[in-house]
A and B are shown apart, each in its own frame.
Chain A
Amino acid sequence: MTDTATMPQLVSFGRRLRRFMADRPLIPLIILLIILVAILQVLRPGIVNERWLANTAKFAIPLAILAGCQTMTMLTGGIDLSVGTVATMSAFIMATQIVNQDPTVAFLLAMMPAVLIGLVNGIGVGVFRVHPLIMTLGTSLIGTGFLQVYQRTVIASGARIPDFLNWLGTGVTYGFPNALLLFVPVAVLIVFMLNRTGFGRLLYAVGDNERAARLSGVRYWQVITALYVLSSLLAGITGLLYIGLIKAPSLSLAEPLVLPSVAAAVIGGTSIFGGRGGYTGTIIGALILTVLTTLLTILQMPEGGRRILFGLIVLFVTAAYLRIVEDR
């Protein structure tokens, strides 16, 4: 359409590069990931091999699924801080109930708190309009409290990690971690849901302009309730996967994943203000964070220094990424 002959060639290379990146926001992320892997390889030649890849994937997957919960809630302008507690609860209940129960019953029992917390979150945010940050933080604390009470009642019976979860969490087949069997369908479903279903559209619409969604006939509370239940269910399943990987049920099992899951979604380009983002970016964000953790471990820094550096890098990457992608 445009007449390129009359278009002045004043548009600098930098601007055009930016424009290119703005249209394909995944590219700078993938480049960053490759750079990180390259640094790792330079610092420890030979570290990047098949085993390392499988290991990285194993640790990135639980993070990526929880980051999926954050992506979906952030699209509506919310956040789900209860994912850590929910994951821990289902893992802990699974590991203790499997001792005397049928696996199916144990699984159902393990998913119960997930559904419940999701429902409470959804109703609190969607109907009573409590701020998602407060709401999910609140249910998270309450959940932890219940878990402590529960722990005392089962202290005598002990805990066991079911073999299947062990296999799923740590097993590797033909060089591929078995966890991919769970992750690939989950990821495909989330991406499909966000892009090709009515529900996905509504998440974006509600997060972008709630009033516009309302005038189009969308009932906010329905969308939000369904969303938080879904998010909690995913968190519960992640808990089961994670216990298979970590193998030590504790009351703070998945808690360390909560803030990184938010960070992964943000690095992946999802806006915390809602309406903008997607799951593919989040997956790469989770990978970046996992590789970054390995890198910092290898540097053999003291724990404190490592955390500071981790935080600084996350800040820097997010700020730089937004600058690249936000073309005016």
Chain B
Amino acid sequence: MTTNPLPQSPLLDATGVTKNYGAVAALRTASLSVLPGEVHALMGANGAGKSTLVKILTGAIKADAGRILIRGQQLDIRSPADARRAGLLPVYQEPALIPDLDVLSNLRLTGTPVEPFRAWVRELGIPDLDIRETARHIPLAILRVLDLARALAVEPDVLLLDEMTAALPANLAEKVLEVVRRQGDAGRSVIFISHRFVEISALCDRATVLRDGATVGVVDIEPGVEERIVEMMLGTRIEKTRVTARAANDLAVADGGRPRLSVRNLQLGTKLNDVSFDLANGEVAGVFALEGQGQDELFAALAGSIRPTGGTIDVDGAPVKFSHPSDAIQAGIAYVPGDRAEALAMQRSVRENIALPFSAALRKWGPIRMRREQMVVSSAIARLQIDTRAQGEVQRLSGGNQQKVTIARWIAAGARTILCFDPTRGIDVGTKQEIYKLLRELASQNKSVLFYTSEMEEVQRVCDRVIVIFGGRVVDTFPVEEADEAALMRAAYGLPRGAKADVGILAEVKPGSSAEAAS
């Protein structure tokens, strides 16, 4: 961390950047200045304009006004190719590989050298990538890493990472952080967007904070700065508390012994192996796993999206076989998938997206009661604090706001059990608190939640109990009191309790981390 301001000239200096979409002001007088060799955080609440700024800097969209200097020279960046020539390379918030092409063709399309790409992919913790695989069939987390490797392969001077780590489980996120840190050490600059404070404090030198499209401050990252940043981001203070879980004995009394969901010996090809667990009424059960341990398949099977090859699922004590998601929905089980592209009709309005399940069943195909629908939808929107300035089409919302729509849908539908797969991906600190509260509230209404998260912190914040999956098996189950990060990590790596594991740089910064200090 360089706290001493050397008289260094910025590598990238943008001032007065403005962008309006009709009546929506995405950016007004935003500025950003990045020094050589610096890892610079760009922070702000959902819809603050971070992604818009990144897209403008890299020529994907055109600003209405503003001045951009690169190495002191004013450049007019009109296209991504221009940006690339100037040494600016982005990893956007949404996966950028073309889904219908294989990885190799995608590389050719952008003229990315293949060997360096492969080297980076290995470096980033994916040893066995099949370069001939069609992008559509690659899981979201891996796609994100491939996007990063593709950018790294051309050795950019400024790397712009828009929520690169948001979909990544701990092991992959760590690799990314290591690589990014080394970029900085090698004299290259990185602009790093993340809603995870742990990462910011582990990685970044300075942070620029945006609020409502304007730059409201630039701060050095040092212990204790988190609260100041949050205050700048949101304009208010927030209480970052642990939402209290119910005591375990309380639970047992409440549900009279019969679990809401009971999974026994679930089998799915080679992905899931003999998975058994219960989900009680009024419980928030966490699922924790490293990348690709079968968690995707577990959720998809419980949601009726794919069919298990063996084992049983009981709902309220009665065995069920789901052959279509609508069967699961009938049984009161809703699924928020990890990849929002899988959940949203991007060209349709926020309202239609939230109300979609209402019309699904054959007997609901008739006239819609617009007034009532409007009421239900509005209350879900308010509950999740969705920024509705651009609500005509979901694709115009910021990433975090899109994510909120995927959750709002099932809140509006009043599902009894919600399977949340990484629901807070890309959601800002303020709304995250709101979502934690919401999940606890659902539990207190005797509803139940199965909650996978790639963010270890969240486990302790909301769950009653944690189920750890490794290699398609349930390797351990902790009550939340025992689920400290070291224990979780050990279990996630498949190590027995009490063993010592290498938990990487996140754990190393832990003691001094302001994120924890605040909790």
Contacts and interface: CB of A to CB of B under 8 A. Distances in A.
Interface of A: 1-3, 6-8, 10-11, 19, 23, 192, 196-199, 201-202, 204-205, 208-209, 211-219, 222, 226, 275-276, 328
Interface string B186-225: 0000000000000000000000000000000000000000
Residue among B303, B324, B344, B365 having the largest count of chain A Cβ atoms under 10 Å = B365
A198 B28 contact: no
Contact of A217 (B23, B329, B344, B355): B329
A217 B22 contact: no
Contacts of B362: 219, 222
A248 to B, nearest CB: 39
Contacts of B18: 7-8, 10
Interface stretch (B74-82, B244-252, B345-353): B345-353
Given A1-B389, A7-B20, A222-B362, A197 B345 contact: no
Interface string B39-79: 00000000000000000000001001100000000000000
A209 B367 CA distance: 22
A213 B347 contact: no
Interface stretch (B335-343, B429-437, B477-485, B497-505): B335-343
B326 interface: yes
Nearest to A226: B365
B256 interface: no
Contacts of B6: none
Contacts of A213: 345, 356, 360
Contacts, number: 116
Contacts of B366: 197-199
Nearest to B356: A216
Interface string B381-409: 00000000100000000000000000001
Contacts of A222: 362
B364 interface: yes
A217 B342 contact: no
Given A23-B22, A201-B368, A217 B345 contact: no
Nearest to A23: B22
B367 A197 contact: yes
B346 A201 contact: no
30 contacts: A3-B25, A8-B65, A10-B18, A10-B64, A23-B22, A192-B367, A196-B367, A197-B367, A198-B366, A198-B368, A199-B365, A202-B360, A205-B352, A208-B348, A209-B342, A212-B342, A212-B345, A213-B356, A214-B305, A216-B409, A217-B324, A217-B325, A217-B330, A218-B356, A219-B324, A219-B326, A219-B360, A222-B362, A275-B345, A275-B348
Nearest to A202: B359
Interface of B: 18, 20, 22-25, 28-29, 61, 64-65, 303, 305, 324-326, 329-330, 335, 337, 341-348, 352, 355-362, 364-368, 370, 389, 409
B370 A196 contact: yes
**Which 9 A-B residue pairs are closest in the complex by CB-CB distance?**
A198-B359, A208-B345, A217-B326, A217-B360, A199-B365, A217-B329, A198-B365, A216-B356, A216-B357
Contacts of A19: 22
Interface centre among A6, A197, A216, A226 (most CB of B within 10 A): A216
A101 to B, nearest CB: 34
Given A197-B368, A212-B356, A6 B345 contact: no
A7 B368 contact: no
Given A197-B368, A215-B303, A217-B329, 19 more contacts: A1-B389, A7-B28, A10-B64, A197-B359, A202-B359, A205-B348, A208-B347, A211-B342, A213-B345, A213-B356, A214-B324, A215-B325, A216-B325, A216-B357, A217-B324, A217-B357, A218-B359, A219-B360, A222-B362
B352 A201 contact: yes
Contacts of A23: 22
A1 B325 CA distance: 40
B326 A7 contact: no
Given A2-B25, A8-B18, A328-B61, A204 B352 contact: yes
B202 to A, nearest CB: 35
A275 B358 contact: no
Which one of B29, B357, B360, B409 has the highest number of Cβ atoms from chain A below 10 Å of its Cβ?
Answer: B360
Given A2-B24, A197-B367, A209 B346 contact: yes
B134 to A, nearest CB: 16
Contacts of A217: 324-326, 329-330, 357, 360-361
Nearest to B25: A2
Contacts of B20: 7, 11
Nearest to B330: A217
A211 B346 CA distance: 12
A74 to B, nearest CB: 13
B363 to A, nearest CB: 9
Contacts of B64: 8, 10-11
Contacts of B305: 214-215
A2 to B, nearest CB: 5
A197 B25 contact: no
B359 A7 contact: no
A215 B343 contact: yes
A326 to B, nearest CB: 12
Contacts of A11: 20, 64
B342 A197 contact: no
A112 B96 CA distance: 49
Nearest to B23: A2
Contacts of B29: 6
Which of A192, A205, A214, A275 gathers most chain B CB within 10 Å?
Answer: A205
